[in-house]
Every structure is written in C-alpha cells, then in structure tokens.
Amino acid sequence: MGAPVGFDLDMTLIDSRRAVLSSFAGVAADTGVAIDLADVDRRLGIKLEDELSHWFALDDIPAAVAVYRRHYAGLSADLTVIMPGAREAMAAVRAAGARAVVITAKYVVPARASLDGVGLVADDLYTEMHGPEKGVILERIGAGAYVGDTPADMAAARAAGATAVGVTTGSFTDTELTAAGADVVFDSLERFPKWYSSIV
C-alpha cells in the first residue's frame, strides 16, 4: 500500500461556499447579530465555533452553533456541489494502492452528509480538525501528501512531513499558499491525477 493522501473537504473536494454563507446569514437573521459575510468568506475552512467567536460572546456560541447547524442542514443539499476533478483525484490515489482520507474542520454529521450528497466516499474521515490538529492526524496515518485550499492546510502538511498540495479553489491565492509552504499549487483538482501519477 502507498502512503495515504489526505484531502480537505470544504472548498477542496466540495464547493460549500453558498451553503456556508447562507447559513451564517440565517444565523444573523435569527439572532439579530450582525455578521459580515465577506469576513466569514475570507476565513472559510476554520472550525464553526472559531468563526462564531468573531461575532458572539463565549456563552452564546453553543446556541449560535445550533442555529447554524439547523440552517446548514436545510441548505447544504441544494447549495453544495462537487469540485471539478475531486472524484478523479480520489480515484487516482486509490488506483495507486493508497487510501484517500478526508480531514476536515467540519462536524461529523454535515461532513458525512456533504460527502454523501456529492457521491464521494472517504476511506477514512477525521472531523473537527483544523490547523495543527490536521498535522497530528497526517503524521499519525503516515500521509504522503495533504491537499487543501488554505495556508493552515499547507502548514499542517509541512509539519507532518507530507507534500503540501494547494488548490486555489477557496479564498487564498497561489502566492499565499506558496508562502505558507505549498510544494505545488493547482488552480483545480483536475490537474491532480496527472501530477500524482508522476510521483508514485
């Protein structure tokens, strides 16, 4: 078996931007708390509780989480789509005899629902992981590479000794991902299979 390859979920394998931002808009409407969706967009990929901490007092976060998850459960199926090349990227990893592992900051229920909704299957799924926490998982499973759309993803891969593969399908540019340690950056996962097959 080859070394496992880790994949981020939101804005790497799936385009969940509309679902996430619409859910935060719902939280703002239901709670009366002003939430700048542009700010949320710039931080896409962090844990829900961490994002809500920008807008709510600590004691109010659990209630806000519940409101968000209610909105997201109703919106995600219609507003989430698979990223171009995601299916083929995971298939390329399996064709090389390796496991395609999803490591995400998302909570387990919406993570599984999101994967099921776009027809993707993870060989392993690790949820509620962000930044250095992802690095711990990557090192534990002996990952050869991690594919993600944020600087934190690139740093996690480097910390684990894995190849850091950036995709500019999220909120960050080629320059930002490279500065964070990306070994290679693609504008789409459609370019991943050919690159991966050249290194295994």
Strand, coil or helix: what is 188?
coil
Q: How far is CA 175 from the centre of its chain?
A: 19
> For the chain, where do the domains classified as CATH 1.10.150.240 start and end?
17-79
- The pLDDT-based confidence of 114 (bands split at 50, 70, 90) is very high
Dihedral, CA atoms, 78, 80, 84, 86, nearest 10 degrees? -120
Share of the chain above pLDDT 90, in %: 98
User: From CA 98, how far away is CA 101, in angstroms rounded?
Assistant: 9
Please give the C-alpha separations between residue 115 and each of 1, 196, 199, in angstroms, as whole numbers: 24, 22, 27
Q: With 0-12 CB in 10 A as exposed, 13-18 as middle and 19+ as buried, what is 199?
A: exposed
Beta bridge partners of 172: none
> For the chain, where do the domains classified as CATH 3.40.50.1000 start and end?
5-15+81-199
What was the pLDDT predicted at 124?
A: 98
As a CATH number, domain 17-79 is 1.10.150.240
99, pLDDT greater than 70: yes
For the segment(s) 5-15+81-199, the CATH number from 3.40.920.10, 3.40.50.1000, 3.90.79.10, 3.40.50.720 is 3.40.50.1000
23: left (phi over 0), alpha (psi -120 to 50) or beta: alpha
- Tens digit of each residue's pLDDT (9 = 90 or more) over 54-96: 999 999 999 999 999 999 999 999 999 999 999 999 999 999 9
Of 32, 37, 71, nearest to 51 (Cα)?
A: 37
Contact 119, 156 (CB under 8 A): no
Q: What count of residues does the chain have?
A: 200
Q: How far is CA 191 from the centre of its chain?
A: 18
Dihedral, CA atoms, 73, 46, 188, 78, nearest 10 degrees? 10
What single letter denotes the amino acid at residue 53? Answer: S
6, pLDDT greater than 80: yes
Helix (H) or strand (E) holding 125: strand 124-126
123, pLDDT greater than 80: yes
- Tens digit of each residue's pLDDT (9 = 90 or more) over 25-53: 999 999 999 999 999 999 998 999 999 99
Q: Which two tokens stand for residue 36?
A: 């700048």
pTM for the full predicted model: 0.94
Query: Mean pLDDT for the chain?
Result: 97
- The pLDDT-based confidence of 1 (bands split at 50, 70, 90) is low
